[in-house]
Structure 1
Amino acid sequence: MLNRLPADERRAQLVESALALAERGGVGAVTVRAVAEHAGVSLGVVHYCFDSKEALVVAMAETLIDQLGEAMNAAFDLPDDGPDTQGLIGLRQLLHAGLTAMWPALEFTAGRQLLTYEITAYSLRHRGAASASNGVDGQVASGDIATLQYQRMDEHASGFLVACAERSATEWIEPVSSLARLALALLDGLVLRWLVDQDNDAVVIELDNLAGIIASRAAERP
């Protein structure tokens, strides 16, 4: 049965096996042999789906990016029948609600959040290195992973900021793209610090401070 899986399902299975290995032992623990053993398939099956470890790491990163994007979309989706939140106070409430809604997903996937940082570092180390996948059939090279990750996150965050301003009858006094970059940089730092000390009480305060910092870059519409 294992050998009869459709190609897309097989690739997804192998990526999940690679992610499970990496959560426990980091990217260095991901080898073709280890993935094959974890997934219960032959080495040839892994080689058929991924021509190199780099290709497998890229697929891992793309899966993490998609999962994070889904979490951001779910948290940042403002309900049509939400409370009447007008003005700067309302804007801050909306920002805080989105951030706090997103946090449980980050906390629940702590191992994958840590892996995201590691893959980002892996990507930056490989940036500029020659890669056979560069520019081939639209494939992403390992050195491009970090760029793709933050581009996707910027898109989700920018959309959320625009929606919050529209809902609260406010307007941003700085470019939305810059604010999204700032918010994500601060959130990155909060997540990394939480991974270090697991201080949930501090996170509650820090998320509120983050909402306040971003809201201070807005003004009420005339």
Structure 2
Amino acid sequence: MQHSDASTVPMLTRLSAEQRREQLVSAALSLALRQGLDAVTVRAVADQADVSFGIVHYCFDSKDALVAALIERIITEQLEAFTGDDVLRSMAEPAGIGAQALADRLDATMLSVWRKIAEFPDRWILHSESMVMSFRAEPGSPLHGIGERQNRIAEHFVAQFLQAAAEASAMTWTVPLTTVVGAALQWVDGILYGWLSDRDDDAARSAFELLTGWLCGFARPV
């Protein structure tokens, strides 16, 4: 496929700048899902999106800026596994009060999250790749700090979720949530990496049940 950089720049008028950026990020995501983040180059994204090389450069200052936008998309989609409608419904369903009610709420949420992990494993592999790429990025790069920011967002949500689950169950946490949230997220990451390696669904579900039991050990009735 041949592109005429100068003549195709007016294509930007057909879509808003934001729409064009979203189109290019979607093309980058399609490439990355098939071949990994290393396959995301300006030329490859232009070909995937069927636009000129110049349009990609018009929308993104550099390859790093394009990949950074892609990683932000990956982060947003992965966080939706924890904040989506299924999770909200599991929290809204009546489960009673007390320690068992808290465990049931946590179990329901873990199961919802797990289903999305198992349904889209390639996206979770990209999630891991994006973290490594961010940690390796030099200061000043658009990629620098994305992994750390992702961790902060995840920690904030998990802390809010655990607090809401405890309140709905008439329970309270006996330690500051900051004490357990980081460890819980590391536990989830470990389960994820183990499953990506062996695809053992039963082992992963058992590990999530152990995580629920561990978390409930830090709760008591109000």
TM-score greater than 0.5 by the shorter chain: yes
Correspondence for 2:39 among 29, 49, 58? 29
Correspondence for 1:63 among 62, 70, 73? 73
> Does residue 21 of structure 2 align to residue 11 of structure 1?
yes
Matched-pair identity in %: 37
Higher relative contact order (CA 8 A, sep 6+): 1
Does structure 1 retain, via aligned residues, the 8 Å contact 2:91–2:165? no
Does structure 2 retain, via aligned residues, the 8 Å contact 1:65–1:152? no
Number of residues of Structure 1 aligned to a counterpart in Structure 2:
211
Corresponding residue number in structure 2 for 1:109: 120
Q: Which structure has the bigger radius of gyration?
A: 2
* TM superposition shift of 1:81: 5.3
Correspondence for 1:53 among 57, 60, 63? 63
Does structure 2 retain, via aligned residues, the 8 Å contact 1:76–1:160? no
Unpaired segments of 5 or more residues in structure 2? 1-9
Corresponding residue number in structure 2 for 1:212: 213
> Does residue 146 of structure 2 align to residue 145 of structure 1?
yes
Does structure 1 retain, via aligned residues, the 8 Å contact 2:90–2:108? no
Deviations 1:32-64 (A, max 9, x none): 000000010000110011111110111011111
Matched to 1:26, the amino acid is G
Matched to 1:93, the amino acid is D
Deviations 1:103-155 (A, max 9, x none): 111222211100111110011111xx242x6xxxxxxx311110111111112
Does structure 2 retain, via aligned residues, the 8 Å contact 1:77–1:160? no
CA distance in 2, matches of 1:2, 1:188: 42
> Does residue 43 of structure 2 align to residue 42 of structure 1?
no
Matched to 2:124, the amino acid is Q
Does structure 2 retain, via aligned residues, the 8 Å contact 1:110–1:195? yes
Deviations 1:77-119 (A, max 9, x none): 2567522331111111111111101111122221110011111
Matched to 2:83, the amino acid is N
Instruction: Report 1:149-188 matches (<5 A).
Output: 149-188=150-189
* TM superposition shift of 1:168: 0.8
CA distance in 2, matches of 1:198, 1:178: 30
Does structure 1 retain, via aligned residues, the 8 Å contact 2:46–2:53? yes
CA distance in 2, matches of 1:13, 1:81: 36
Q: Please list every run of at least 4 consecutive aligned residues from structure 1 whose deviation after the TM superposition is greater than 4 angstroms.
A: 78-81
Unpaired segments of 5 or more residues in structure 1? 134-140
Corresponding residue number in structure 2 for 1:76: 87
Matched to 2:118, the amino acid is E
CA distance in 2, matches of 1:178, 1:66: 25
Matched to 1:72, the amino acid is F
CA distance in 2, matches of 1:87, 1:60: 42
CA shift in 2, pair 1:184/1:80, >3 Å = closer
Query: Residue 144 of structure 2: SS of its match in structure 1?
Result: helix
